[in-house]
Amino acid sequence: MADPSPFPHPERHRAMLARYGFGLFPIPRYRDAAVGPWRVARYGRGPVEGYLPGMVLEPERHVLHHGRTAWMSTSLMELESHAFHVHQATGVVVVAGLGMAMYAHAASLRPEVLRVVVVERAAEVIAVAGAAAGMDYWPRRDKVVVVQADALGDDLAERVLEATGGRRPDYLYADIWAELAAPAAPGDTAWMVRALQPKAAGWWGQELSFGRWCQEHGQAMEPAALTAYAQEVGVPIPASAGYAAFCRDVAAARLPRRPTAGQPGGWRRLWGRLRGARGG
């Protein structure tokens, strides 16, 4: 399990690189594992829909379960929804939420990354992810530090700065909510930003949060609008033409065109992924 697997979905990866300037990333070689009520299991070939438009045939996928509930997977939707944040990883990276350790693995392989600090509060998640993803055998395991702590706890800054040697994070990626683009995500990420003062930051599903904001404000999904949105929510989201195009494509595929006032968006129900609120 020492070597990372090849880039999954190579055609999708090349198309993303050409259109957005970033693509997919290598994932660990997973194996089945179980710790307490948590388990990672392999599933066979099947058609799946991505975060971006279009279906693909996946040869296999691994899924993290808590009891009978699926919390995360190695599916194309997961890979595409993490892709921009992997591309942003540089210097000292802090990721809130370990999940299946895909992000930590991908970030550690980037030569631009010096250290990856993972904040995860559940000891059993740390154990099952470590076993399933073969963390002890990663090529750059030396870069990765796992801190058992609450990403929204009062001691977050103290715990993270201890792991970074007092260095301010270059990038913060927050991924701790029960649903994609959860309503609490922008505010919770802003709280982490105030605590850690990263140079740049983002959260899982922010493309849909941004798209909903553009709908509500009558804004086109362009870099200037993303900058305005980032300033409003208090999260230093990097903006570029390529990323704005990615946001537009995701929103076109996933956001309802006429959201009903007072009702949750269909994309929340469609892409809800139960991990437990504030799972980091």
Q: Which residue has the higher pLDDT, 161 or 70?
A: 161
pLDDT at 277: 32
Within 10 angstroms of residue 244's Cβ, the number of other Cβ atoms is: 21
In this structure, are residues 273 and 72 in contact, taking their beta carbons and an 8 Å threshold?
yes
In this structure, are residues 80 and 48 in contact, taking their beta carbons and an 8 Å threshold?
no
205 has pLDDT over 90 = yes
pLDDT at 6: 62
pLDDT digits (tens, 9 = 90+) for 76-99: 999 999 999 999 999 999 999 999
Distance of alpha carbon 45 from alpha carbon 165, whole angstroms: 44
274 has pLDDT over 50 = no
261 has pLDDT over 70 = no
pLDDT at 84: 98
Share of the chain above pLDDT 70, in %: 89
> For the chain, what is the mean pLDDT?
90
pLDDT at 190: 98
- Mean pLDDT to the nearest integer, 264-279: 38
270 has pLDDT over 70 = no
Comparing 23-27, 111-115, 190-194, 273-277, the range with the smallest average pLDDT is 273-277
- Angle between helical axes of 76-88 and 102-109 (0-180°, round to 10): 40
60 has pLDDT over 70 = yes
Comparing 20-24, 50-54, 226-230, 258-262, the range with the smallest average pLDDT is 258-262
pTM for the model = 0.91
278 has pLDDT over 80 = no
4 has pLDDT over 60 = no
- Mean pLDDT to the nearest integer, 129-155: 97
Distance of alpha carbon 181 from alpha carbon 184, whole angstroms: 8
- Mean pLDDT to the nearest integer, 212-226: 97
pLDDT at 123: 97
259 has pLDDT over 90 = no
Share of the chain above pLDDT 90, in %: 80
In this structure, are residues 77 and 85 in contact, taking their beta carbons and an 8 Å threshold?
no
Distance of alpha carbon 128 from alpha carbon 110, whole angstroms: 24
* The three-state (H, E, C) secondary structure of the chain, written as one string: CCCCCCCCCHHHHHHHHHHHCCCCCCCCCCCCEEECCEEEEEECCEEEECCCCCEEEECCEEEEEECCEEEEECCHHHHHHHHHHHHHCCEEEEEECCCCCHHHHHHHHCCCEEEEEEEECCHHHHHHHHHHCCHHHCCCHHHEEEEECCCCCCCHHHHHHHHHCCCCCCEEEECCCCCCCCCCHHHHHHHHHHHHCCCEEEECCHHHHHHHHHHHHCCCCCHHHHHHHHHHHCCCCCCCHHHHHHHHHHHHHHCCCCCCCCCCCHHHHHHCCCCCCCCC
pLDDT at 68: 86
159 has pLDDT over 80 = yes
224 has pLDDT over 70 = yes
